[in-house]
Structure 1
Amino acid sequence: MESTLKFTETHEWVLDNGDGTITMGISNQAQKLLGDVVFVDLPEVDDETEAGEAFSLVESVKAASDLYAPVTGQVVEINEDLEGSPELVNESPYSAGWIVKIKLSDEAELENLLSSEDYHAANPEEED
């Protein structure tokens, strides 16, 4: 599945759901750098996102890190499982640890994201 993902330079991953929405989370490398995630500040459904702007926060035992919106759009779903189990971000960053789903304002923004291959080339310590 990871080869179908796109990435941001700030280590968010994006899955194009094919219906005008994307699912996003943080990369395996990002969760490793953060350490044990203890809290995810989830946005509200219907919140607007602006590509490249901080819209949420992930806190770990070591640090707090902003999440940057990979695309401009509207939050249509949040991963409520993270409220009680933020460790899902560490245990399963590319599936159960997803953070939000966003309805795209402009699907062309997906072209601005890094391919999985380009992301891994720029971040060789990232492992699948």
Structure 2
Amino acid sequence: MDKNYYWTEEDKSGVVTIGLTDEGRNELGNITFVSLPKVNDQLTTSDTLLNVEADKAVSDIESPVAGTVVAVNKQAEDNPALLNESAKDKSWIAKIQK
């Protein structure tokens, strides 16, 4: 998936929050299933961050940053439709410590 399809925000401690942009959500269509990484997973930029099933595509999305997963959006795992929203506080995917 193209880098334009996700957003990243890094805080002062090097934790990067990742989510899908409007462009990414439009490309996928309505998201109906997600498989998120586990807390403490070690990811490189070639590792899969997220598996998504949606109306238009089934995709493996690579992690845009390398590091340790420190949090995942459990609400999105239980309710994948949250990832269809543009509100970053609801639709984030994971937080990774660089």
- Tell me the TM-score normalised to structure 2 length: 0.88
Residue type matched to 2:21 in 1?
S
2:87 and 2:21 mapped to 1: Cα distance?
6
Larger radius of gyration: 1
- Partner secondary structure for residue 40 of structure 1: strand
Q: 1:70 Cα shift?
A: 1.0
Q: 1:22 Cα shift?
A: 0.7
Q: Of the candidates 19, 23, 45, which is equivalent to residue 29 of structure 1?
A: 23
Residue aligning to 2:71? 77
Runs of 4+ in 1 over 3 A off after TM superposition: none
Deviations 1:52-87, CA, capped at 9 Å, x for gaps: 432321111221111111111000000000122111
2:87 and 2:31 mapped to 1: Cα distance?
11
Residue type matched to 1:44 in 2?
K
Matched ranges for 1:1-128 at <5 A:
9=3, 11-92=5-86, 94-104=88-98
Structure with the larger strand share = 2
Gaps of 5+ in 2: none
Deviations 1:8-65, CA, capped at 9 Å, x for gaps: 6252210012212110011110101111100111111011110243232111122111
**Matched length:** 97
- Tell me the TM-score normalised to structure 1 length: 0.69
